[in-house]
Amino acid sequence: MRTVQYNPVTAEVIRALQEAVGQKYVKTDPAVLEVYKKDESMTPSFWSLPEVVVLPASAQEVAAVMKIANRCKVPVTPRSAGTSVSCGAVPAYGGIVLLMERLNKILELNEEGMYMTVEAGVRTGDIQNLARSKGLLYAGDPCSADSCLIGGNLATNAGGNKAVRYGTTRHQVYAVEVVLPNGKITNLGGVLKKCSTGFCLEQLIIGSEGTLGIITKATVKLVPLCPYHIDVLAVFTNLAAATALVPQLVKAGINPTSVEFMDNNFVRSASDYSEVRLPHYEDGFYDIITIETFNEAELDEKMEKLASICEACGATDVVEADERVWKVRRNCLESTRAFSKVATSEDLVVPVVRIAECIRHLAAESRKYDFRIFCLAHAGDGNLHFQILKCDMSDDEWERQTEAFRAVVYPYVYSLGGRLSGEHGIGLKRLKYMEKYTDPVELELMKTIKRAIDPNRILNPGKVMDFESSKEM
């Protein structure tokens, strides 16, 4: 039975929201609500309509909305650009969708201190571009950087292409401003290289998927931009050879910025979608490796070592990767929509040294099923993505076979020391699996934190933790 009874959004609630943010920024039109019932997950069974969409313009307005929601026991779903594929921004229980796009100011770029302070609704690509114009790098680099917002990156601890060298989003942050479920505003962290002053609460909020607080502002780290870099495409005609490359790169100490893997299904579909034809279109498996250095001699040395390793692993071609290669890589997921309007994705992560065997084992396992499956990976950090396409399968068979596949995949991944999600988060989509595969003590600790911070459980309910199946009344 439901452990929390939420109230509907009444006319009184609407009036209070209008007073808080302005009538113009409280949306109840059915056509608007329809837009915000979903994300990019391609899983309609999880989508759910909000009752109202609210667009605050400041932390104070976010706080006012949360006070209203907390008082009236109305659920609130924070939403950035909606690029999530885990239904993290889907309003599972209706209520309020809190849209963050009006908090869109870059407040400060400090070149000497190498940090930037931004509001949560700033586009990640704009942060990257401004930093680059000053000879600096914001190393957070999700594949959706041109459309996603920094607040969503922070909420999900987004990974991306540069995580091999620089880490995920949480490694790029000094401090955050957060609105708590009760409407209080706090600032966590600071522009410090070290701190042992109490709990590291900013890191608790980052990656909590909007269940513990709403990030309204962040101070992100910048690093010097490497002046020398090269992107290399290593083409293999054998899956085992392509995946064997990654552990060899780790052992060689090349320290690449990124190592991206694409199976041949993605090579062909994304090439067709991008109208680009690359080497071994028909039978190639691709590894895209980026190397960055601060001097040319080091780059030449690492490039020579990389070429030798690729050849030793059985690469058919080793060529410089131009923009065409990255265009194909960026269009991987979009390209699959031509084959199926309904799909589901997996965001598995394993220790880097186990990525090769994991890809090979699960690729072999997938051939036992009728759905179509495409595989790519941020291979350098052990993050494996399967895009599973429904195509012409019946709804019942689709449900049966995907569940059967997961029943094999998840225990195998955990046996390697892996987890359900490397960068996309749990959201609503992986909720029941989080309950099943997470250590019970760890899970109860997370629920205890949630209960303490959000006793009415109004903030992004139905995500990460399942209170509906608990025994509490």
pLDDT of residue 1: 36
Q: Domain check: are 188 and 281 in the same one?
A: no
Q: What is the mean pLDDT of the chain?
A: 94
232: Cβ contacts below 8 Å, ≥ 6 apart: 288, 289, 290, 291, 303, 306, 307, 310, 318, 319, 320, 321
Close Cβ partners of 133 (under 8 Å, ≥ 6 residues apart): none
**Which segment of 24-33, 43-52, 63-72, 171-180 scores lowest on mean pLDDT?**
43-52
d(CA 470, CA 356): 38
CATH code, domain with 344: 3.30.70.2740
Final residue of a structural domain among 308, 333, 358: 333
Beta-sheet strands, E only, within 151-301: 173-179, 185-189, 214-221, 223-224, 228-236, 258-262, 285-293
Residue 123 sits in the same domain as residue 200: yes
Does any domain span residue 458? no
pLDDT at 472: 42
* Residue 123 maps to a domain: yes
Are the CB atoms for 232 and 321 separated by under 8 Å? yes
In one-letter notation, the amino acid at residue 138 is Y
Structure tokens at 82: 């909606």
327 and 239 fall within a common domain:
yes
Q: In the numeric block, which tokens belong to residue 200?
A: 């590291």
The residue from 180, 206, 224 where one domain ends is 224
Q: What is the mean pLDDT of residues 374-397?
A: 94
Q: Are residues 114 and 220 in the same domain?
A: yes
pLDDT digits (tens, 9 = 90+) for 238-269: 998 998 898 888 788 889 999 999 999 999 99
Q: Are residues 218 and 239 in the same domain?
A: no
**Is residue 2 over pLDDT 70?**
no
Mean pLDDT, residues 189-205 taken together: 96
In a domain, 61, yes or no: no
127 plus 177 within the same structural domain: yes
- Domain final residue, candidates 270, 300, 333: 333
pLDDT tier for residue 3 given thresholds of 50, 70 and 90: low
Task: State residue 42's pLDDT score.
Answer: 80
d(CA 291, CA 239): 23
**Which tokens in the block code for residue 267?**
């090579």
**Neighbouring C-beta atoms of residue 444, cutoff 10 Å:** 13
* Average confidence (pLDDT) over 118-123: 98
Sign of the CA dihedral running 367, 373, 376, 381: negative
Q: Alpha-carbon distance 147 to 422, whole Å? A: 20
For residues 320 and 347, state if they share a domain.
no
In the chain, the number of structural domains is 3
User: Is the pLDDT score of 470 beyond 50?
Assistant: no
Residues 268 and 325 in one domain: yes
Closest CA to 138 of 120, 119, 106, 114: 114
Number of Cβ within 10 Å of residue 206's Cβ equals 26
- Asked, for residue 464, whether it belongs to a domain, the answer is no
Q: Do 184 and 113 share a structural domain?
A: yes
Of residues 252 and 473, more confidently modeled: 252
Q: Are 183 and 63 in contact (CB under 8 A)?
A: yes
pLDDT value of residue 468: 74
pLDDT at 471 over 80: no
The CATH number linked to 261 is: 3.30.70.3450
Tokens of 299: 């780059």
Q: Is 245 found in the same domain as 317?
A: yes
3-state secondary structure of 448: helix
Edge to edge, what strands does the sheet with 115-119 contain? 106-110, 115-119, 214-221, 173-179, 185-189
State the pLDDT at residue 469: 53
Residue 432 lies in a domain: no
Long-range CB contacts for residues 100-104, cutoff 8 Å, separation at least 24 = 100/56, 100/149, 100/151, 100/214, 100/216, 101/55, 101/149, 102/25, 102/55, 102/56, 102/57, 103/56, 103/57, 103/58, 103/59, 103/62, 103/151, 103/216, 103/217
| Predicted confidence (pLDDT) per residue in 345-363, tens digit | 999 999 998 998 999 999 9
In a domain, 205, yes or no: yes
Full residue range of the structural domain in which residue 235 is found: 228-333
Domain assignment present for residue 189? The answer is yes
Burial 13-24 (b: 16+ CB within 10 A, else e): bbebbeebbeee
DSSP designation for 130: H
Same domain? 243 vs 299: yes
The enclosing domain of 155 has a CATH number of 3.30.465.10
What pLDDT shows up at residue 5? 86
Per-residue pLDDT, averaged over 120-125, amounts to: 98
E strand spans, 22-69: 26-27, 52-54
Q: Above 90 in pLDDT, residue 43? A: no
Is 252 exposed, middle or buried, given 0-12, 13-18 or 19+ CB atoms closer than 10 A? middle
Instruction: Measure Cα distances from 192 to 135, 218, 219, 220, 394 in Å.
Output: 22, 14, 11, 12, 55
Residue 16 forms part of a structural domain: no
**Model confidence pLDDT, tens digit, residues 300-317:** 999 999 999 999 999 999
| Higher per-residue pLDDT: 143 or 39 | 39
- Asked if 320 and 364 sit in the same domain, the reply is no
